[in-house]
Every structure is written in structure tokens, then in C-alpha cells.
Structure 1
């Protein structure tokens, strides 16, 4: 890479870090940049996954107060997404490139819809649980269905990950009765687990462009921290709107591309 291309990758890492911890579509920025500077698709995907691991570290530091609120939920989601990340990394190396191209944009659009209607849908679900005068207790544990969706999101995160943050927010917001900013923090640290496990697999068995990894790493950790500090100060409605806009934009880019 030329000096200018290296600068572009650094800036992409910074922007991807911010996007990762705010709206969850980091790879839609950094992955195309790696392709544009000449990396083959699988090498770019692998290098992107490894290079964005520090963004999750920065985001975890930025969300440290939110992550203390429900430590058991956070730990459970991290374990599930870590397991999924290993499976996703294996799929990336075993399947032909682009095998999910036709499905993923529509999946992201569907989860955007769920994020948008989540407050009303959650209120309706609570009303259904409270029918007959029964006391409604906050949902603070993952159901069997939610566990499955968290695991699948981890698989997708390890495979490619564009929009995985949107999917995770939709799953957790519909499954748990906790603050959206706390969910954003759990989302960030969970996808860190997915990316970290996938990165360990890639380091051992895949071809990696270590210059690209280094350039993304140094800036994405800063971007992840900055994005978390921005997101935790946003009203929940604004954060939800930004997640939906980012997810729709990501799916549109993937469909057009």
C-alpha cells in the first residue's frame, strides 16, 4: 500500500470503530476500503475482523458503567457469541465467498424493523404477560429462543459481521427489559467476543495482511471508545433511530453492490 492508501485505511479504522459502538455497521465502512486498496475478498474479510478487535476493547472501556448493570446477562451473551464466532470463522474459510449475499441484506432490514417497533412490541408483549391480573416481572434472563438468536448472531459476526450489531440490539431489546444504552454496551462487548474468537482462528489458519491489521487496530480502538462515549449520552429514541438508519443504509448498500 502507498502512504495515501495507508492513511485511508487508518481513517476507515477510526470511522469503523465509531460505527461499531454506536450503530453496529462497522464492516460496511472498513471492508470496502480494504478491497479498494487491493486486498482479495477473503484476506480483506479476515484482516478486517482481526483489525477491528481493538474497537470492541475501546467500546468496552467506554461502556464500562453500562456493563456493570447486568453482569450475568453480559457474561452469558459473550459466551454465546464467542462460540458463534468460532463457527462463523470456520464457515468463512469453508464456504465459497459471498454465499450469504442474497440473504443478509433482507435479514438486516428485518432486524431494523424490529428495532424500530421494539418499544411498542415490548409493551404489547408485557400486556399479554400481564393478562388475567398476573404480576409482570422484568425479563432479566435470556429465553431459549433468544439464546438461539444470540448464538446465530455470533456466527454471522464471525463470518462477516456487517449489521451484526443491529441484529444483536434487536434480539436483546425484544428479549430483555433493560435500558437500550445497556443493551448497546452488551452488544459491543458481545461482538468483541465473536470477533476475538474468530480472529484467533484466522491467525492460525488463514492468510492475513498484517499491515492492514495494524493500521485498523491503532485507529479502531480510539474510534470504539469515542463511539461508546457518544452513544451513552444519546437519548434512547435517538440511538434507536440511528441504529435503524444505519441498518437500512447498510442493507441498501449490500443490495445495490
Structure 2
């Protein structure tokens, strides 16, 4: 891989980090960039997971107080995300190819529609928090995040806004942190057992840290309803892309 390739991957990593924090769609930028750089699909997938840890690192560096203010439940959610990331990594490395991918477009599309309908769903639920449901589904989303992750941020936002009373600003921060945990655990497994291209991962991770760090100030300036609808529509577009690719 040439220095020019590595520079382009760093640039792609920056935009993946920024877009990933704002919309949860980092992999729609980073994964194709790794394929374009010449990596085969499995190597691109595991390298992408390792590199996208940088998004969570950069975002956490610029929003530590907001994450800590979540309180004691943060530790429980962190554990579920870590376990889910571990299971997702095992599924990717040991399950038959394509065993999970067939359901992914439907999952992302369903989450996007739920995000569009979130105000109505919250009203029908009486605006109650659903901690047990949230914890269980958080684990499932983390499994997907460790396995592949494209659109996982959309699913996470929909889950958080429907099952909790969190504002979309805090939900976006928690998305970045908890999916970062899932990515980190999966990345450790891939570092030992997976075909990670370390040069590409390092270049993209550097860009992703910068992009993730720039994410929180950008989201602060976007009206909540605009952000929610934009993420939902982008998720529907991703679902279509995943279904036809």
C-alpha cells in the first residue's frame, strides 16, 4: 500500500468519523474506501472495525462529561456492549460467510422507520423508560456492531430514543461511546485472530479520531428534529444499498 493510499485512507477516516458521529453511518464511507484501497472483503471488514475505534476515542475526548453524567447505568450498558462486540467478532470469524448479512438491510430499514415514527411511538408508550428491553436490545445491536456495523448507529439511535427518555444529543454521544466499546472488544479479537491490515487501520484510525472529535460541536448546532429525520432517511438509503450491493 503506497503513501498516497494511506493518506487517502486518513482523509476517508476523518469523514467517516465525522459522519459516523453525526449519523451513525461511518462504515458507508470507511468500508468502501478500504475496498478501493485493494483489501479483500473480510480483511476490509476487520480492518474497518479496528480503525473505527478511533471515532469513539475522538468523540469521548470531546464529550467526557456528558458520558460520565449518565450515572451508574453506564457501567451496565458498557458491559452489554462489550459482550455484544465479543459475540459479533466470534460470529464474523467462525460463522459461514453471509450468515448474518441477509437480515441486515431489513434491520436497518426497520430502525430507520422506527426513528421516523419515534415521537408517536414514545407517545403510545406513555413516554416510559424500558430499561430491561433497552439492555437486551443494546446487546443485540453491539453484536451487529462487532460483526459488521454498517447502520449500527441508526439502530442504536432508534433504540435509545424509543426505550429511554434521552434527548437525541445525549443519545448520539452514547451511541458513539457504546458502539466504540463494542468495536474495541471486537478489534482486540481481530488483532489476535483476524487478517487486519495494520497500516491501513492506523491511517484510517488517525483520521477517525479527528473526525470523531469534531462530531460533538457539529451535532450541537443541528436542530434535533432535523437530525432525527436526516439520520432516518440516510438509514433507509443505506438499507437499500445493503440490499442491492
**What interval of TM-score do these two structures reach, taking the shorter chain for normalisation?**
over 0.9
- Name the structure 1 match of 2:170: 182
Residues in 2 aligned to 1:253 and 1:205: alpha-carbon distance in whole angstroms = 29
Deviation at 1:213, TM superposition (A): 0.8
Aligned to 2:49, what secondary structure does the other structure show? helix
| 2:15 aligned with 1:15 | yes
- Quick check: 101-110 or 86-95, which moved more? 101-110
- Name the structure 1 match of 2:158: 170
| 2:142 aligned with 1:154 | yes
| 2:90 aligned with 1:102 | no
Deviations 1:82-120 (A, max 9, x none): 110000000000023333232101110100011111112
Contact 1:181 1:231 in 2 (8 A): yes
Residues in 1 aligned to 2:153 and 2:222: alpha-carbon distance in whole angstroms = 17
Deviation at 1:66, TM superposition (A): 2.6
Deviation at 1:77, TM superposition (A): 1.8
Structure showing greater Rg: 1
- Name the structure 2 match of 1:132: none
Contact 2:62 2:216 in 1 (8 A): yes
CA RMSD for the aligned pairs? 1.5
Q: How many residues align?
A: 245
Deviation at 1:79, TM superposition (A): 1.3
- Name the structure 2 match of 1:131: none
Q: Which runs of 5+ in 2 are unaligned?
A: none
Residues in 2 aligned to 1:64 and 1:238: alpha-carbon distance in whole angstroms = 25
Structure 2 counterparts to residues 208-219 of structure 1, below 5 A: 208-219=196-207
TM-score (norm 2): 0.94
TM-score (norm 1): 0.90
Q: Which runs of 5+ in 1 are unaligned?
A: 128-137
Aligned to 1:99, what secondary structure does the other structure show? coil
- Quick check: 62-71 or 10-19, which moved more? 62-71
Aligned to 1:102, what secondary structure does the other structure show? helix
